[in-house]
Amino acid sequence: MCGIVGAIARENVVPVLLEGLLRLEYRGYDSAGIVVTNGGLHRLRTTERVAELAKLVSNDKTEGFAGIAHTRWATHGVPCERNAHPHFSGNEKKIAVVHNGIIENHETIRQDLQEAGFEFLSDTDTEVIGHLVSKHLATTHDLLDAVFLAVAELRGAYAIAVMDEEQPGRIIVARNGAPLLLGLGENGNYAASDASALLQVTRKMVYLEEGDVAELYHDRYRIRTCDATTKLNSEVTRPVRESDLTREAVELGPYAHFMQKEIFEQPVAVANTLEMVLNAQSISPRLFGSKAEEIFQKTSGILILACGTSYHAGLVAKYWLESISGLPCSVEIASEYRYREPIANPSTLVVGISQSGETADTLAALNYAKLLGHDHSLAICNVPESALIRQADLRFLTRAGPEIGVASTKAFTTQLAVLILLTSVFAKLRNKFPSELEQEMLIGLRHLPVSIQLALQIEPQIKEWARNFSQKRHALFLGRGIHYPIAMEGALKLKEISYIHAEAYAAGELKHGPLALVDKEMPVIAIAPNDVLLEKLKSNLQEVRARGGELYVIADADSNIKESEGVHIIRLAGYSGMFSPMLHTIPLQLLAYHVALQKGTDVDKPRNLAKAVTVE
Ligand code: F6R
C-alpha cells in the first residue's frame, strides 16, 4: 500500500527521502513522487520504480531542506503520473500533499470545491485535501490551523503530510486510521508511515495516535490532538520510543529475495515467538497479558477474525481449539463479518490475527464485534505499535521480525505457534490438559524450531518439482482435516507470486465438482501426513490418478504412499501430531517461491498486491 516519508533538516533531505521510499517499496506501489522546498515547491513524479525517481532527481539536481515523498498504490484513478502524489493545490502549486488511505466523502467535497472555483487535475481522492487546506489557509493564514480545519471535513482513513510554499520551514502531518510516526534525528525531524523508512537517520520514534496533527521543524516538533466530542484541539505529548528494529532485519543480506530470507528465518522466528515458554515448566494464561486469566475463565467460545494468510492460521486453530480445548470456535473473513449481522455472545472472545496490525478490514471487524456486544478481544500481531495491538484488550506479539516479502511466510508459522499456546492455555483452564500432556506439549514446542529446520532441507527436491510447474496454468491443492487450511495457504502462496491459478479443496469434496478439472495438464498437490485421515485421502488421490492427473504428494516418512508413474512424493520426518500443519506449510512456501523464480516474476512485490492492506 502507499508509503509516506517526510523530512525537515539542517541539510539536504533528498537522500533521506529517497532511501525512505526504497525501504517502503516492499509495501507495494505503482507510482512514486517527491516534493522539496527550494525557492518554491519542486516536484518530480514517475510511474516507474523508486530507482527511476532517484535518477530523475539526480538529473534534475533536486535539493532542499524540507520535503515529502510518497509511493502510491492506486485506489482512485489509474496509476499514472497525473495521479501520483504529491498533489498540489490546483495550478497555484502553493500546497503540496501526500496521503495514505481513502477519503470516503471526497466526491461531495470535490463538488463543493469545484463550485468554489478549485480546479482538479487528477482522479484521486487525495486532491481534495490540498484544496481544503488552501481554502482554510485563506482565512486562518496558519498551516497547522488550516490542516485541522481540513481534516475535520474528511471521512475515512488517512495519514497525510502537507507543505506550504510560503512556510518552507514547516511540515504538517496528520493521522486518522492509517499508521504514521515521527522520527527525531540529530540533524532534523522526520515522519513516515513505517519505522523502517527512517532507520537510516534515527531510532527515536513517536507513534501518533488517531486524531493527532503534528508540526515538524528542523529543531523541534509539536503534537496537537482533536477531541472527538468537543472538536477542540489541544497540545499533547506522546512517548518517544527507541525502535528495536535493526537495519539487518530490513536488509536482504546474502539472500536473493526477502521471501527466501523469511522462509529460512522461520526456525528463529518461531523460537523467538515461543521464547517465554521454551524454558518454562508450565504454560500460563499470563502469556497473553495480566488480565488474561480472568477473561479466559469467563470465555465460552472463540471468534477469529482475519484476512488472507492470517485467516488460514485461524482456520487451523479452529481444529486445535475445538479438539484439544473443547472450546467452540468460528473463523470469519474480516471483510465479510463486518458487513453482516452476526449474533454476538459477550463471553465469546474475539481474536484478531494480523501480521501488520493495520489491515483495515480486520480492524473494522474487531470494532464491529465490540459494538455488537462481544466483551473482550485478543490481538495476535507482529507489529508492536500497530493499531490492532492498541485496539485489543489482550495481546500476544509474534516475534517474527519485519516481514517484507508481500507473501506472508514467517508471520504464518509464528501465528500458528501462538495459536498452539492459546489452545494449550484453554485446554489447561478447562481441565483437558493433564500435566503429562502439558509437559509433552512443552517438549514438542522446544523441538519445533529444529523440526522446521529439518523441513527446510527438502528444498532441493522442491526445486525439481518447481521445474514441472512453471509451464502450468492451473494447480489444485488437496488436504483433509486440519491440513485443508494448509492446502488453502499453499494455493494462495502459489497464485499470488507465480500467477498460476491455484485452488484448494478439501479432498473429500473432489468428486462433488472439481474432479471435472483434472486431466494430465492439472498438477495436483496433496498434503498427506500420516494422520487418521490418510487412508481416506489415499482414496481421493486414486480418483485423481485414474483421470490422468499428476500427483505431487507431501507425505511424512511413515505415510504409506508409494512413488509410481505420475505420483511424486516428498517425505518430511515422521508424523508430528499437532505440529504437522506448521511443518507441511514449509514445502508449499518453497514450492511457490521456486515456481515464481522459474517464471521470473517479481517474488517480493507481486503485481497488484500490497503488503499491508490499509484500505477496504
Ligand atoms: C498472503 C498475504 C495476505 C495477508 C493479508 C492479511 O501471503 O500476505 O493474504 O495475509 O493481507 O494481512 P495481515 O496479516 O497483515 O492482516
Q: What is the pLDDT of residue 69?
A: 97
Question: Does residue 310 line the site of ligand 1, with CB under 6 A?
Answer: yes
Confidence of residue 227 (pLDDT cuts 50, 70, 90): confident
Region 329-334 average pLDDT: 98
- Whole-number pLDDT of residue 92: 57
| CATH number of the domain to which 42 belongs | 3.60.20.10
Grid cell, residue 40, equals 518554491
| Residue to probe by mutation, ligand 1, list 26, 355, 410, 497, most atoms within 8 Å of CB | 355
Q: Are residues 291 and 188 in the same domain?
A: no
80 is catalytic: no
The model carries a pTM of 0.85
pLDDT given at position 248: 77
Nearest CA to ligand 1 atom 7: 407
Q: Which residue has the higher pLDDT, 540 or 569?
A: 569
- HSE-CB at 286 with a 13 A cutoff on CA atoms is 6
Provide the pLDDT confidence category of residue 502 given band limits of 50, 70 and 90: very high
Q: How many A from CA of 408 to the centre of ligand 1?
A: 6
User: Measured from the CB, is residue 126 less than 6 Å from ligand 1?
Assistant: no
For residue 533, give the DSSP letter: T
Distances in Å between the alpha carbon of 417 and those of 252, 276, 343? 25, 12, 29
Residues 222, 156 share a domain: yes
Q: Indicate whether 443 belongs to any domain.
A: no
**Is 608 domain-assigned?**
no
Sign (positive or negative) of CA dihedral 378, 381, 383, 388: negative
CA of 311 to the centre of ligand 1 (A): 8
What percentage of the chain reaches a pLDDT higher than 70? 99
Q: How confident is the model at residue 93 (pLDDT cuts 50, 70, 90)?
A: low
Boundary-marking domain end, from 250, 274, 296: 250
Residue 24 CA: distances (Å) to CA of 19, 28, 95, 406, 517: 9, 8, 24, 12, 40
Shared domain for 134 and 107, answered yes or no, is yes
Domain boundary (250, 275, 298) is at 250
Residue nearest to atom 4 of ligand 1 (CA): 308
Catalytic residue among 2, 226, 307, 329: 2
SS3 (DSSP) at 600: coil
Q: Please, are residues 438 and 424 in contact by the beta-carbon 8 Å criterion?
A: yes
Give yes or no for a contact between 8 and 195, defined as CB atoms under 8 angstroms apart.
no
Domain contains 442? no
Verify whether ligand 1 is closer than 6 Å to residue 613 (CB atom). Answer: yes
309 occurs within a structural domain: yes
Domain annotation covers residue 569: yes
- Residues 513 and 560 both lie in one domain: yes
The answer to whether position 497 is within a domain reads: yes
Same domain, 64 and 26: yes
Residues 239 and 266 reside in one and the same domain: no
Give the per-residue pLDDT at 612.
76
pLDDT above 90: residue 527: yes
CATH number of the CATH domain containing 583: 3.40.50.10490
Q: What range defines the domain where residue 467 resides?
A: 457-599
For residue 15, the one-letter residue type is P
Q: Please tell me the distance from the alpha carbon of residue 535 to that of residue 507, in angstroms, as a whole number.
A: 12
Q: For ligand 1, atom 11, which residue shows the shortest CA distance?
A: 308
Residue 614: the pLDDT is 75
Same domain for 509 and 534, yes or no, is yes
Taking residues 423-447, report their average pLDDT: 94
pLDDT for 81 equals 85
* Interval 258-278: pLDDT, tens: 999 999 999 999 999 999 888
Q: How far, in Å, are 119, 301, 331, 433 from residue 512 at the CA level?
A: 57, 32, 24, 38
- The interaxial angle of helices 410-429 and 580-599, nearest 10 deg, is 170
DSSP codes, 488-510: HHHHHHHHHHH--EEEEEEGGGG
Averaged pLDDT for residues 465-477: 93
Q: Are residues 197 and 228 in the same domain?
A: yes
The total of structural domains in the chain comes to 3
Q: Do the Cβ atoms of 592 and 598 come closer than 8 Å?
A: no
Residue 108: its H or E element? helix 106-115
Q: How confident is the model at residue 102 (pLDDT cuts 50, 70, 90)?
A: confident
Could you report the per-residue pLDDT of 303-327, keeping only the tens digit for each? 999 999 999 999 999 999 999 999 9
Question: What is the per-residue pLDDT across 339-349, written as a single tens digit (0 to 9) for each?
Answer: 999 999 999 99
CA distance 184 to 405: 27
What's the pLDDT at 608?
A: 84
Q: Are residues 241 and 315 in the same domain?
A: no
Among 192, 225, 250, residue at a domain's last position: 250
- Within a domain: 361: yes
C-alpha to C-alpha distance for 313 and 384, rounded to whole angstroms: 19
pLDDT tens for each residue of 108-149? 999 999 998 898 889 898 899 999 999 999 899 899 999 999
Domain match, 480 and 411 both: no
Residue 83 confidence (pLDDT) above 80? yes
Tell which atom from ligand 1 comes closest to the C-alpha of 359.
Answer: 16
> What confidence score (pLDDT) does residue 505 get?
96
- Which amino acid, residue 584? H
**pLDDT tens, 52-61?**
999 999 988 8
Would you call 611 a catalytic residue per the annotation?
yes
Q: Is 589 in the pocket of ligand 1 (CB under 6 A)?
A: no
Q: What is the pLDDT of residues 474-486, one digit of tens each?
A: 999 999 999 999 9
* Residue with CA nearest ligand 1 atom 9: 308
For residue 300, count other CB atoms closer than 10 A to its CB: 11
Mean of all residue pLDDT scores within the chain: 92
Query: What is the position in ligand 1's atom list of the atom closest to the CA of 306?
Result: 16
Question: What backbone torsions phi and psi does residue 102 show, to the nearest 5 degrees?
Answer: -135, 130
Closest CA to 532 of 584, 483, 586: 483
Burial group, residue 390, by CB count within 10 angstroms (0-12, 13-18, 19+): middle
Q: Among 500, 489, 492, which residue's Cα sits nearest to residue 466?
A: 500
**H, E, C per residue of 355-419:** CCCCCHHHHHHHHHHHHHCCCCEEEEECCCCCHHHHHCCEEEECCCCCCCCCCCCHHHHHHHHHH
What is the predicted pLDDT for the residue at 39?
86
- What distance in angstroms lies between residue 189's CA and the mean position of ligand 1's atoms? 31
What is the mean pLDDT of the segment spanning 38-43?
Answer: 90
- Of the residues 135, 318, 428, 611, only one is catalytic, namely 611
Inside any domain, residue 445:
no
Specify which residues 479 forms β-bridges with: 506
Assign 90 a pLDDT band (cuts: 50, 70, 90).
Answer: low
Q: What's the gap in Å between 404 CA and the centre of ligand 1?
A: 12
308 pocket-lining for ligand 1 (C-beta < 6 Å):
yes
User: Which atom of ligand 1 has the smallest separation from the CA of 406?
Assistant: 8
The finding on whether 47 has its CB within 6 A of some atom of ligand 1 is no
Do 85 and 43 lie in one domain? The reply is yes
Which atom from ligand 1 is nearest to the alpha carbon of 356? 15
Instruction: Indicate the residue type of 162.
Output: V
481 lies in the same domain as 560 = yes
